[in-house]
Amino acid sequence: GIEFDYCCCHAAFALRDAGYEAIMVNCNPETVSTDYDTSDRLYFDPLTAEDVLEILRAEQASGELVGVIVQFGGQTPLKLADALEQAGIPILGTSPDMIDLAEDRDRFQKLLHKLGLTQPKNGIAYSVEQARLVAGELGFPLVVRPSYVLGGRAMQIIHDEGMLQTYLLDTVPGLVPEDIKQKYPNDKTGQINTLLGKNPLLFDTYLTGAIEVDVDCLCDGKDTFVSGILEHIEEAGIHSGDSACSLPVHALHPDLVDELERQTAALARALNVGGLMNVQYAIQDGTVYVLEVNPRASRTVPFVAKTIGRPIAKIAARIMAGETLENAFAHYGAMPDPRNPGHIAVKEAVFPFARFPGVDILLGPEMRSTGEVMGLDRDFALAFAKSQLGAGVDLPRAGTLFVSVRDEDKKGILPAVKRLAGQGFKVLATSGTARFLAENGVV
C-alpha cells in the first residue's frame, strides 16, 4: 500500500541523513521507494526469507550490516523477522519475540491480564470442530479472522450458525496454500485443519454500538510519545482503512483520552517497542477494550504525520538506529501536542464502487478502499465536509432522503433523520421505518 511506501521512503531518507547506507528490498515497481534516488541500493526481489537472506549475505560480504528494519512494510516483512533472527541477522527496533507476543493470542492475553487491561471475550481455534465449539461458548455476534493477515483479509462479522458454516467451508478454503491442497487433494476439512494448525482462527465477541479508536505512538523502549488518537466515525467492526476518522477526537470525553494514552504507554513499555506501534481500541459504555496491537507502522502514519506536522516515520527510523525518542525528535522540531494541533483533520476512504457497478457497497472488517483523502479545518463539520468533497462524495443541500433501517438500528438513526428533516429534506421510508419515524415525531 501507498501508506507503507511512504514510511519506507521516509525511513530511507532519515537513515541516509544519519550517515547510514539505506538498502531497500521491494518487488513492486509502482512504489516511490523503488525510485533510483530513494535509497543507496535497491533490490527487486520477493520478500521471502530465502531471497532476503541471500541479499543480506551479499551485503555482509561487502561491509558491516548494522541491521534490518521490518516495521515499515506492513505484515509481510514482519513474518520474516523470526527467520532473519535465527540466521543471525540483527533486527532493529522491536524484537521478533515481542512481535510474536503481540500476534500470539495466548501470550498477548496473559500480557493484558498482567497489565490490568480489558479485551473482548475471545477464543482461538486450531480446527474446524474447535471453531464451532469456540463460537458456541462465546455466542453471536462474533468477529472472526485468520491470524497473521493484512488488510482484514477473510475477516468477517458472524451473526449466526449459518454464517459460521459458510465462513468455515467457503471462505477459509480460499486461504489454503497450494502445498497443503496437494497434500490433501480430496479432503477439504484436512486442508483447513492443516492450515489452522499453524495459522489459527481468532474469535472476538462483537461489541455492538462501540466506538473504535486508532492510536499511533513512538517509543524508544523507555519513553513514549502518543502521536495521534484517531476517533472512527464508522461503527466498530469496519476496517480501520475504510473508516473515516478524526484527529484530534471530536466526541470522546477527555478522561477517556487520558486513559487511552495511559494504556498505550503501558503496552509500549511492556512490549519494549523500538519505533512505531499502533493500537486499536473499542469503547463501549465508557469501558476501553484492547482489540489489537501492531508493533509496526500502520496505514494511519502519513495522515498523523501531516496532521501534527512531524515526520514520525523518520523519527521512528532514527529510534531504531539507536537514538533516544528525545534526540530523534530534536532533528525535526519540538514535540507537538497531538490533542491540540491547532486544526482538525478528518481522513476519509476512497472506494472504487463507481467503477464496479453491482459490487456490494456494505463495509465490514475486510478492507475495500483503494485510497484516502484528508480534510483540514478549525471546525470539525467543515473538515468532514472537505474530506467528503475530496473523496468525490456529493453533499446535497436539499432533496429527498430515503431511509430503510433494520429494527435494531432504528433508534440510532433517529437523531440524524430528525436533523435532516429539520433542514428541509423530504423523508421517504419503508413501511416499518416510516412507522417508527412517525411515532417519534418525524413526518
- The CATH number given to 211-390 is 3.30.470.20
- The CATH number given to 121-205 is 3.30.1490.20
Burial class (CB in 10 A: 0-12, 13-18, 19+), 96: middle
Q: Spell out where 178-337 has E strands.
A: 201-205, 211-220, 224-235, 245-247, 274-284, 287-294
Q: Which residues in the chain land under pLDDT 70?
A: 148-152
> In this predicted structure, what is the pLDDT of residue 280?
95
> In this predicted structure, what is the pLDDT of residue 175?
84
Residues 5-39: b if buried by 16+ CB within 10 A, e if exposed: bbbbbbbbbbbeebebebbbbbeeeebebbeeebb
> In this predicted structure, what is the pLDDT of residue 295?
93
The DSSP code sequence of 153-207 is TT-EEE-SHHHHHHIIIIIGGGG--HHHHHHSTT-HHHHHHHHHHHS-EEEEE--
> In this predicted structure, what is the pLDDT of residue 384?
96
Q: With beta carbons less than 8 A apart as the criterion, state whether 275 and 319 touch.
A: yes
Digit-coded pLDDT (tens) for 403-417: 999 888 898 899 999
The structural domains of the chain, with segments of one domain joined by +, span 2-92, 121-205, 211-390, 400-439
Topology of domain 2-92, CATH: Rossmann fold (3.40.50)
Place of cell 473482548: 120
d(CA 139, CA 334): 49
The grid coordinates of residue 298 equal 500502520
> In this predicted structure, what is the pLDDT of residue 357?
78
Does the fold of domain 211-390 match that of domain 2-92?
no
> In this predicted structure, what is the pLDDT of residue 186?
86
**Any idea what DSSP says for residue 349?**
E
